[in-house]
Each structure stands twice: as structure tokens, then as C-alpha cells.
Structure 1
């Protein structure tokens, strides 16, 4: 039986809810953040004495600090942070407005960043901690029609790679989780789309959008199995920096690596030779 204290953002549904349930079942304490008052009692009732709901918006820095301070004061420590809150966005890069980009970045990137920064002082003082950044296979490889979401998750991964190097000497581990398609509400209520649809992108961005919306509720991934893997990673002595989840995610990552290697091999002779001549 384990007795870690977890802090998970966005536990009202999807991955966050499933992970919180699995963590509580494992005997750990779970602080879960929600955005609506009506969701507080529901989460508290999942496992009384193990699940504790807090009202928090990841786009509100003052609220984040107050919530994390209150959680630490209540439990005396915070062992695991899971930055899970976020949403998807469909549309070609040209179709999306700058406002669309900013809104997605505000939650998916800046939200996770602000929560991480507020949590780090406590983990540094403890000399230990695990940070799980819920990214996506889309945070490693881009897809036509997903550029706004790709941008937010690429930013999260870039920041998290640097963070992992910075906090490793302090006893804190960072793992970037990259799920493929899982049977959550991601393709339903957790996704938005560009208001304009340009016919020029019907053969690219629109195809992807239709595929995503078309398989809502039929995705291959089982969220409970994913949660069990994340639990193993948190309890591992040497957790990975990156953790793709599901066969589709592994294929996406490997295909990206192959593409990069092909470009390197094709252009190395020309492009690597850019030093000053002696």
C-alpha cells in the first residue's frame, strides 16, 4: 500500500478522472482540481478520505498559488503533480485566429507552466517529487488540421525537457506522457474547432477533423490501462522522460524519428558543412 499525495488538474472527466480513481484505489491521496462548484462533492465522494476536490482554474495564477498552498498546508507534502487540464483544437493553421491560438496556449501550455512553477518550491524543499506532463502523440509529431493543438503541446514538451534537466539534481523527476487516441471525451466536449473552414484545406485539415470526430467513443485506448501504466512510472526508480501510450502513439513517434533521420541523411553532407574555412 502506497501513501503518496497526488495533485491532478482537470479531474471532472477523461484521463484526469480515470487516473484519480485509479490512484485512490491504490491507496494514495488525490487532490483533484475542478472548475465548477457542482463537481466538488461528486469528486469527494469517489473515495471519501482519499479524494479531495479543489476549485481551480489553471489560467488564474493567484488561484493556482492559493490552491497549492492550501493543499500543502492540509497534507504536509505534495509528491506527484499531474498537469492534465487542457483541450484540443481542430482547424488548419490559416483557419485559426490568433485568439484561438492564444486561448489554447493559455490553458495547455501556460496553465501547466504556472501550476508547475507554483508546485516546485514545495518539491524542492522536500528534495523529491514526480511531475507528469500530460502531452500527446501530437506533442511529438504534427498533423494537418491539428496545428494549434500541436503548438501548445510542442511548447509543453520543450519546456518540460529543460525542466527535467534542471530539477533532476534536486531529486525531482519529470515524465512527458504522450497518449494516442483513447476512449475519453477528448473528441467530444474537450475539443473546439476553427469557425471558418476554407475549401483549400478540405483534402488535409478537414479530413483529419472528420476522422477525429468520427471515431469519438470508438478509440482504441483504454483510459484505465493508461492510468495503471502512469502509476507504474510514478513508482519507478528511473522513470522515462517520454512515455508514449498506446500502439498508435508508438507508431507516430517512430515515424517522426524515421522522417527526421531521412532528412538528416539526405542533407548532412551539404548542410553540416557551414563552418568558417581555415
Structure 2
């Protein structure tokens, strides 16, 4: 997907800076690439996918020198101020400012009633609720300075349509959804906060425990009014829109090809 350049001088000090958590590949990488094409300087965050992150940054820096950096960190650093503070400093040291914070990093797996564990609760709430909130709070002064914005990637299952077998994930995403609306009030008027609720915009990796067979994929497509799986670029396009929509805050845009109109939570 092509985007018009946002700045005539792409390495101008005025070029905005976007941080996307979990952005070495898939949807996160698509957001980074789209933002970079529009003139943003970008911060690629990863934990386990450093090779992919470094490769992405190298490709972007070949297009425009000194326009992309990689920060490798386990987001559990938010659990302690002594580890969170150095992470925040790395973010700001990258380009000296932050204009857009995108919460993309997320853990997603089933948790069946009767087999729930404390570790599942901690991990799913960490990535989907705790990190977005505490990272937003820590970066607030820098976002205020730029009159910036926060964009959270949510889920169509986070509101009224829980995904069967994923109770902790559903709860964590519902918490993140309320975070978006609450922060939109508390951070106004200088920082806007919005959310995007994807449907099926990328299929699980084929070697993961969430991989879908061909029959399951056909069922999913049949359930979508647009009759196709979405793409990471669909999400990236919405992120860039919200990043520039100066009079929109507290909104959650659904990007699912209409799937939530007919969705039954028990279906894939």
C-alpha cells in the first residue's frame, strides 16, 4: 500500500517519531513500514525477534539514513521503575522526541475454564493491559510535548463478543479497551488516545500452536461479509489515519471486513 510522503525533507529534525511495540514482523512491521514511507522516523521494538527487527531497520535506513532504530527489551520491564526508566530513556535517546506510541505487542492463546493458571493470567494481562497502561503513563510527558497520540491495537472480541476458550485474553483486551477510553479523558487535550479493533487481518503462523488448517480458513472467510482475510496493511492504514486525525480521541475503529456484524464467539 502506498502513502503520500508527509514531509518534503524526510530526515528533517521536524519529522515525527513513532514507536510500535512488537514490530519486528507481521502487523507491527507493516505499521512501521507504512509510517516510514510517510516520512516518520521509527522505533522498532522487539523481544525475541531481533534478527527480523535488525533486517527491517537496515532496509529502512538504506532508504533514508538514520531513520530507524531497534530497541530489544522484554516488556516485563514495566514491573519495576528501576528497569522501566532505562527503557524510556532509550526510547527518547533514539531521536530526542516521541510523537506516536502504538501498542501492538500482545500474547494470544487459549485458556480453558478448569485449567486456568496464575502464569497465564500474569502473561496475558501483562502484554495486553499492564504494559500499555504503564508505558503510556511513563511516556506521557514526551507525548504531551509533541501534542502526540497513542493508538492501541485491541480485538473485536474485546467488547460484547467474547472468544470461546480465551477467557483471560478476552478479559485483558477488554481492560485495554477501557484503558483507551479512560486515557482519552485523562490525557486530553494534549494527547489523543484511540484504538483499532482488528478482525482476522493476519493468520496465525503455520508453525505455531494457533495454526489453522485449510478447512478452518475457508470457514473464516465464509463468515466475513467482505469474503476475504484482511491484511496487515489495512491496520497500518488505520494507524496512520488516527495518527493524523487531530480531532478524534477516545474512539475505537473496527477493521474486520464486517465480520463482527455476524460473529458468534464460539466460531473461529
Is TM > 0.5 for Structure 1 vs Structure 2? yes
Structure-2 change in CA distance of 1:7 and 1:64 (3 Å)? farther
The answer (yes or no) to whether the contact 1:32–1:51 under 8 Å persists in 2 is yes
Give the distance between the partners of 1:105 and 1:187, measured in 2 at CA. 25
User: Paired residues, what number?
Assistant: 236
TM-align CA RMSD? 2.9
**Partner of 2:105 in structure 1?**
85
The answer (yes or no) to whether the contact 1:187–1:212 under 8 Å persists in 2 is no
Structure-2 change in CA distance of 1:236 and 1:186 (3 Å)? farther
Give the distance between the partners of 1:42 and 1:235, measured in 2 at CA. 28
**Partner of 2:231 in structure 1?**
222
Choose from 114, 121, 139 the match for 1:119: 139
Q: List aligned pairs for 1:174-253, cutoff 5 A.
A: 174-185=193-204, 189=208, 214-215=216-217, 220-239=229-248, 241-251=251-261
**Partner of 1:44 in structure 2?**
57
The answer (yes or no) to whether the contact 2:198–2:254 under 8 Å persists in 1 is yes
**Partner of 2:20 in structure 1?**
8
Give the distance between the partners of 2:215 and 2:85, measured in 1 at CA. 36
Shift of 1:138: 1.5
Give the distance between the partners of 2:204 and 2:198, measured in 1 at CA. 14
Q: What secondary structure sits across from 2:109 in the alignment?
A: strand
Q: What secondary structure sits across from 2:152 in the alignment?
A: strand
Higher helix fraction (1 or 2): 1
The answer (yes or no) to whether the contact 1:35–1:57 under 8 Å persists in 2 is yes
Shift of 1:211: 8.4
Give the distance between the partners of 1:213 and 1:68, measured in 2 at CA. 45
In structure 2, the gaps of 5 or more residues are 1-5, 8-14, 222-227
**For 1:204-255, what per-residue CA distance to the aligned partner results, in whole angstroms no more than 9, with x for missing partners?**
xxxxx978993399771111122112211211122251111122454269x9
Shift of 1:188: 5.9
In structure 1, the gaps of 5 or more residues are 193-208, 257-278
Give the distance between the partners of 1:30 and 1:6, measured in 2 at CA. 5
Shift of 1:53: 0.8
Give the distance between the partners of 1:115 and 1:252, measured in 2 at CA. 35
Flag the structure with larger Rg: 1
**Partner of 1:67 in structure 2?**
87
The answer (yes or no) to whether the contact 1:58–1:112 under 8 Å persists in 2 is no
Structure-2 change in CA distance of 1:188 and 1:146 (3 Å)? farther
Give the distance between the partners of 2:59 and 2:215, measured in 1 at CA. 30
Q: Which runs of 4+ in 1 moved over 6 A?
A: 209-213, 216-219
| Correspondence 1:134 to 2:153 | yes
Give the distance between the partners of 1:174 and 1:76, measured in 2 at CA. 21
